[in-house]
Each structure stands twice: as structure tokens, then as C-alpha cells.
Structure 1
Amino acid sequence: MYDLVEEEKLEDGDTESNYQYSPERAPQDQPQDQPQPDHHPSCWRDSILQLKEGLSTGAVQQQFDQLYRKRPGLTMSCAKLPQNISKNRYRDISPYDATRVILKGEDGDYINANYINMVIPAASAVNRYIACQGPLPATCSDFWRMTWEQGSNMVVMLTTQVERGRVKCHQYWPNSGAIATHGDFQVSCVTEEGKSAFLVREITLTHLEARTICRPLTQIQYMAWPDHGVPDDYTDFLDFVSLVRTKREGKEEPVIVHCSAGIGRTGVLITMETAMCLIECNQPVYPLDIVRTMRDQRAMMIQTPVI
């Protein structure tokens, strides 16, 4: 669990966060031994039984608390450069230099985002993600530039714009039927539909310097999930994860996933999809290994136990 401190008001009138996450406990930043996978058809069931036992004894909680939040030896220097500090929503949530998304062009190459690749060995597949913070007013154009350059056709949003009076994410998309311009990109929201738990928006992204090129993409927003909490209804969340999986099927481009900081709810979504894929392939599911793999690619992924 993390405490939020300090809020600043930007010049354009939008109240945006510049909080700092303060962990209650300092983890032991040492790599943990990983169980070796067993590919027997029943091994995923066995792993779930082991997980259940670990939860009942408290061993899983203890092991989670001991996981390193940041991989030892990986730097985050680019995020601390003077020209980039204002592009970070939270002071201490920064991307690793080794896995950060590097923007092209002359307008700066920095955005608070990391590539995260989750390997599903039995399926010979890799689920590719970009985990990033919720855009600020000044970084919306960078967000759409990243989306365009990476060829991403799906954005998964796991927060509302405002929670408990604090701005968690700037509205980087227009209302249904409207058009907005962010830097070199024109964003059109063609449709918006869904239910109380989540919305699906069909968006068209156009590069203004090459108007003949328009790209469709889908934004899926889950709204019934408070920060530092759990989804209000687990069945709605499972339906949401299934929808994400269906829409990404057959596509190799990375799915962009964000909440506010791009570590908590973002990490849970990636964990859930990874676990579902492993179960389908009759592979064991070790949630702590999944968390460790994510933290090797973006620091502090998942703030509270999801198991």
C-alpha cells in the first residue's frame, strides 16, 4: 500500500497529480528463487492448490512483501533529466532506461512508458504490452505519437479521470462524435458504448501530415475499480479481461495499458491475462513469478497482493 502526498495545479486549470508513492515497507531487493515449471496436464491445478495453501498459511503474503519493487542494477536516468521531469505524473514512478518506449522525431523521445513482454511458452506466444501512466494535459500528444509509432490498435484504460477528488488521468480522447487535435494527430471518437462497469470506444487516429492515412483503434475503459482497491464485481472484471483477449487475438502489436501511475491496476490486468493464457495451455500459474517478470520490465508493478 502506498500513501499519496502533494498535489499541484497546472497552469491550464486542470488539477493533475504530482504525488509521491511512499511504500510502508521497504522490500528486500534481492532476486527470489523461482519454481521450475512442470508441463504435466494437471500442473496448473496443482499450482493453484499450492497457491491456496500458501494463502492460508500467510507464506504467499510474506513472499510478496519480499519481492523487489525495482530490479537492482537497472537505471532510470532519462526520467530524471530536467526536460523530462514535468512529463512524469508521479515523482517516483519512472521507466527503466533499458525498456522504456523511445519516441521518434525532434520533439523529444521521452514518455513514461515501458515495454512489457509476457512469454507463454507452451503456446509459443508472447503477449506484448506497453505499460504507461495516464496522460497529463502536456503529454497527450506524446501518448498519441507513441500509439501511432508502435502501431497499437488497442488502448486499455483502468481508471476514471477523477477519483476521490483527485485527477487520475487527463481526457486524451474526444467525446463521442467529436474530434480533438493533439500535436500532429487528429483523434475522432466514432462510437462509445458499454455498461456501468466498462465502456468501449471506437476511435480513428489520423496523422495530420499524411491525412490519407487513418488508423482505427479501440479504447476499452474499466471504471468500477478504485485505486488501491479491487474491482467492484469480479464477474464484470473477468468479462472485461475476456473482451481484451478477444479484441487482441491475432494481433502482434503491443496493447497499451494504463491506469494512473501505470503500475497497480495495469499490473493486475497483465497478470490476469497471463494467468488465463497459462491455464489454457495447462501450465502452472505462479502469480509471484508473473509479478517479478513484470517488475523486471517496469518498476513497482502491482502495489497490493492480487492473489
Structure 2
Amino acid sequence: MDRPPSAGSFEPVDVTPPGCPIIILWFDPAARELVIPAGADSRLSAHLTVRYTRILLRLMAAAYGGAFLHAGLVHAGRGVAVLGGKRAGKTSTILAALQHGATFVSNDDLSVHRVDGGWWAQGWPRAVSVRGHTFTALGMSVADVLREQGWSLEHPESAGIELPAADSDERIVLYPHELTALCGAPMAGAASLDTLVFPSFGPGPARLLPLTPAQTAALLRHNLLPVPVKDADFLLACFPPATPEAVADELHRLAHDLSGFALEQSFTALYEGAVLLQNLLRGST
């Protein structure tokens, strides 16, 4: 559709990624309507529909006061958020928990909300990048699982490739359902949030160190995603986010309501950290 819809005051919006054919959407700010061109390639149309549905849902969650965190969540009666940046051990910690029977909610994208006096976390799962030596540290063989189950990886970056060597730093990109299938774990879209864990790698045996509310609040601020969407600035006026003061107050409440822990663990003994995480999931430390 190279012309705007017949009804409404639609404006063209160029959402073309670098190096791709031109993609134009039509947007009516007053009516808050977004139209995906009917003439688009069916696969592209499906991709755009999923992408912008996700964007709109994230903007709605932010507008209603949800704070977005660089965090994953596992659940087993209680919910434990695992927060941290790249190479902090977030994915390794979550995978180890899944091996021990936890339910997967999200790997590194989470929105949190206060509900009826408690906290609730909504997962926004997306493709997960896992390095070859991480699976080895967890005692997993992706090739063996694929062969036994008779299925292959689906993500475009992983489909048909030769799997990296066990000790390799090369990555495998997995969809969330593939990740949970490899670990034999269930998956949920949202769950209660009861504890906050900030992992890091280091020598020595695994240990959990209690954090003060002030320490927890500082780490939450460090792992805050200030803008919940990318490349969709034209939609922000329709969904004004919570003010920085409101977000800061939300993180302050979260840090004071829930217990925070630093998880120090060795990359070569992830099972020790998984045992400690299991205790948190059961409500004990």
C-alpha cells in the first residue's frame, strides 16, 4: 500500500532497517491507529505485525507504570529475577535453574509491576545467544539432544550451521521454546516476583550475599531499561511513559519490598549456584 488508508489522517512512517528495501507504515496519531501495508510480502507482513504488537504492548505496560529491567526470571512456586549485563552470568544461571526443574519466564527482558500488595513480572522473551562453552559447563550437549529428539534449530542465525565446539566461545542463537526444550523445562509468560539475584563470576565456592535495600536499589537502577522500545519514537507521544521520578519510586519500593542477593559463583561449578538458587525458589537461603 503506497497510499494512505481512505479514512483517517494517516501519515507515512519510514521504518526501513539499514540495508533493507523501503518499508512504509501508515500512522494516525489522533486515532492511535497503525496500518501495515496490505501489499507487503506475507512473511514481512507477519514479522511487522508481531514486532509492532510487541512494541505497543511494551509501551502500554510502561505507560501503566511498569519498570523494564535487564533481567530474566525463573519460577518454581516463587519467582527469582536474575539481573545483570553481558558476561555477568545471567544466562548461565538461568539455564542451570532450568536444569533443576524451574519454569522459564524470560532470559533478559522483564517488566515488573505491583499487584495487590505483591510484585508481578511479565516476561518478554526473545532469541537467546548462548556460547558453546556454557553448555559444556552445564554438562549439556546440544548436538546429542538434537539427535535424540530428531529436530533442528530454527533461528536464522543457527539453522543449518555447524554447532560450535564444546570449548568454543562461538554462540548459538536459540528461540525461547528451543532453549526450554533443550533443558526439558516448562515455560510461562508471567509469574510472581519474590527475590532479586545479581550474579557474577569469581573464584571459590558459590555463595549468596544478602544486599541492603540501598545496594539493591542501586543495582536495579544500573539494570533499568529507560526506554522500553527501539526505533519506534513516532509512537511515544501516544504512550507517554512514567516520569523518571515515578520509575525511581517504583525501584525504591521494589528494593525495600523484596530481598536482594549477590550470587558469586564459579563458571566451572555452575551447579553450586543452581543449588543456592533452588533454595531461594523454595523460600530458604
Higher share in helix: 2
Q: Report the TM-score range of the alignment, normalised by the length of the smaller protein.
A: under 0.3
TM-score of the pair, normalised by structure 1: 0.24
TM-score of the pair, normalised by structure 2: 0.25
Give the structure with higher Rg (CA). 2
